[in-house]
Amino acid sequence: MQGVTERFLDYISYDTQSSEDSSTTPSTAKQLKLGRRLSEEMKGMGIDVEIDKNGYVMGSVPSNIRRSVPVVGFVAHLDTSPEVSGKNVKPRIVKNYKGGDIVLNKKLGIVLKVQEFPAMKNYYGKDIIVTDGTTLLGADDKAGIAEIVTAVQYLVEHPEIKHGTVKFAFTPDEEIGKGPKKFNVKKFGADYAYTMDGDEIGSFEYENFNAASATFIIHGKSIHPGSAKGIMKNAIRIATELLELFPKGETPEFTEKYEGFYHIYEMNGGVEKTVQKCIIRDHDKDRFEKRKKFARECVHFINKKYGKGTVELRLKDSYYNMKEIIAKNPQLIGIAQKAIRDAGISPIVKPIRGGTDGAQFSFMGLPTPNLFSGGHNFHGVYEYIPIFAMGKAVEVIVNIVKEIGKVEQ
């Protein structure tokens, strides 16, 4: 599987950070640069591929068998997280990792510590790609892109591998939840797909959060503090009171596995108006609905106390748990787990404490569970990826293609 490392290092040199404040698709024009780069690269392999004006790259490897088998697709996203810069990434390969902490940036005192990230212990003796501590790395999801491109090249160069039609796609704006916004499932033409957007080697995910966004707009009344008694309504203080109504133990820093949460991730404003942004998450659909109901009840309580219209709530569902759809397509689970085992690794089946494009694709008629890309500590300067994990991800893609080539349809 030569080439996956070189491709990854090339792709992370492109700044593709998406933007929540944009209304365009893609949200940032710089994502198009990588999309065009990938399109040209794959055309050079003789692959049928195109990129549309919205930045979606789609391509196809034709079947080399006569009988009909399901069409499978593989998807990764072009953008990196808005949370941390992805510009001027300076990767470093730690050869033959000897264990212990890794100093990312001596000048800034940024250290990748085993005590904080114990999964590092699993990669003793392996080559690991790390950052210089000033940007994220971009393994989420340029590792997935590199793995798909490398697997496609491998299939093209090894026609002895019998397979049906294989589709691939690279999408913009996954990190801001808009990857599927203008994705044409019918045009893609796959019966089902896998996103290469998971983390540690071996991980396989077909459950994710039900998700909603909640924006609380608190309207106050500003007046000179010297004559404010009985008149002023301080939106900042009311916002703090609203925040205190939510259970303290049901936040990201206190939950794991199948535990849901409320996460107030942004608050700004002043006396006259303060805005709180919150995400609501739960794997269980009933608990998810109860969480949204609780948010509405909190607003009702504040408005009853301070007057109608004090708090305005904008509540919107973002995506749903793909398990509902994948359960109707159990063959996707069996095929993926066998492909992982055939690559010499053990499947790690776990719920996603977040979402992927695959969650939305699944409810758009394209069942799409999620496979590992091999990285760790996404969305931050401590992000790293073992090189051998990328090679194993390429193997898994090829193994899935082989397995689906055996399916009778």
Nearest to 346 by CA among 219, 200, 216: 200
Q: Report which of residues 9 and 354 the model is more confident about.
A: 9
What percentage of the chain carries pLDDT values higher than 90? 95
220: confidence class by pLDDT, cuts 50, 70, 90: very high
Instruction: Say whether pLDDT at 86 is over 70.
Output: yes
Q: What share of the chain is helix, strand, coil (3-state, %, to 5)?
A: 35, 25, 45
Q: Between β-strands 210-219 and 92-94, what pairing exists: parallel, antiparallel or unpaired?
A: unpaired
Beta strands in 119-179 (DSSP E): 128-130, 166-171
356: confidence class by pLDDT, cuts 50, 70, 90: confident
Which of 174, 199, 282, 383 is catalytic? The answer is: 174
Separation CA 273–CA 221 (nearest Å)? 8
181: confidence class by pLDDT, cuts 50, 70, 90: confident
Cα distances (Å, whole numbers) of residue 120 to 95, 106, 112, 127, 237 = 14, 19, 9, 11, 43
pLDDT (0 to 100) of residue 407: 80
- Element housing 112 (H / E): strand 110-112
Q: With left for phi above 0 and alpha for psi between -120 and 50, is residue 276 left, alpha or beta?
A: beta
Question: Cβ neighbours of residue 116 under 8 Å, at least 6 residues apart?
Answer: 382
Cα distances (Å, whole numbers) of residue 226 to 221, 234, 332 = 14, 14, 67
Across all residues in the chain, what is the average pLDDT? Answer: 96
pLDDT (0 to 100) of residue 2: 61
DSSP assignment letter at 62? -
Q: The tokens of 274 are what?
A: 């303060």
Question: Domain 4-207+321-404 adopts which CATH fold?
Answer: Aminopeptidase (3.40.630)
pLDDT tens, position by position, 120-145: 999 999 999 999 999 999 999 999 99
Separation CA 43–CA 246 (nearest Å)? 53
pLDDT tens, position by position, 41-72: 999 999 999 999 999 999 999 999 998 999 99
Tokens 């039609």, located at residue: 165
- Element housing 325 (H / E): helix 323-326
Instruction: Say whether pLDDT at 392 is over 60.
Output: yes
Separation CA 154–CA 140 (nearest Å)? 22
pLDDT (0 to 100) of residue 256: 94
Q: What is the mean pLDDT of the segment spanning 16-43? A: 96
* Catalytic-residue membership of 282: no
Instruction: Say whether pLDDT at 28 is over 90.
Output: yes
Quick check: helix, strand or coil at residue 11?
Answer: helix
Separation CA 70–CA 89 (nearest Å)? 39
pLDDT tens, position by position, 308-351: 999 999 999 989 999 999 999 999 999 999 999 999 999 999 99
271: confidence class by pLDDT, cuts 50, 70, 90: very high
Do residues 180 and 81 lie in contact, with contact meaning Cβ atoms separated by under 8 Å?
A: no
Nearest to 31 by CA among 114, 124, 145: 145
Number of CB atoms found within 10 A of residue 330's CB: 10
The residues spanned by each domain of the chain are: 4-207+321-404, 210-319
Which of 79, 141, 197, 395 is catalytic? The answer is: 79
* Catalytic-residue membership of 79: yes
pLDDT (0 to 100) of residue 350: 92
Q: The tokens of 265 are what?
A: 């991730």
CATH architecture of 210-319: 2-Layer Sandwich (3.30)
Instruction: Say whether pLDDT at 1 is over 60.
Output: no
Nearest to 336 by CA among 204, 146, 207: 204
Question: Cβ neighbours of residue 212 under 8 Å, at least 6 residues apart?
Answer: 279, 280, 288, 291, 292, 315, 316, 317, 318
Separation CA 123–CA 407 (nearest Å)? 36
Q: What is the mean pLDDT of the segment spanning 70-78? A: 97
